[in-house]
Every structure is written in C-alpha cells, then in structure tokens.
Amino acid sequence: MNKCFTRLVSSPLMERLFIVQVTLHIKVTCDF
C-alpha cells in the first residue's frame, strides 16, 4: 500500500490531482 501510494505521488499529475482533491475536501468540510 505504501509503495503504491509513493508511486502515485511520484507522478506530478497524480500529485496535483491529490492536492486539489484534499484542498476541496477540506474546503467542503470547513463550509459544513
């Protein structure tokens, strides 16, 4: 699992998507 996660994060596009997803999630959580 950790290896998989590291491989995903190492990809710039996936990293960007992940950051956007987390940011949106935090924003939505804060709004509610």
Distance, in Å, from the CA atom of 1 to the CA atom of 3, rounded to the nearest integer, reads 5
Q: What pLDDT score was predicted for residue 1?
A: 46
Q: CB of 11 within 8 A of CB of 5?
A: no
Local confidence pLDDT in tens for the 32 residues of the chain? 456 555 655 567 777 888 888 888 877 777 65
What is the pTM (predicted TM-score) of this model?
0.44
Domain ranges of the chain: 2-31
* Strands in 1-32 per DSSP E: none
Q: Which residue has the tokens 């992940």?
A: 18
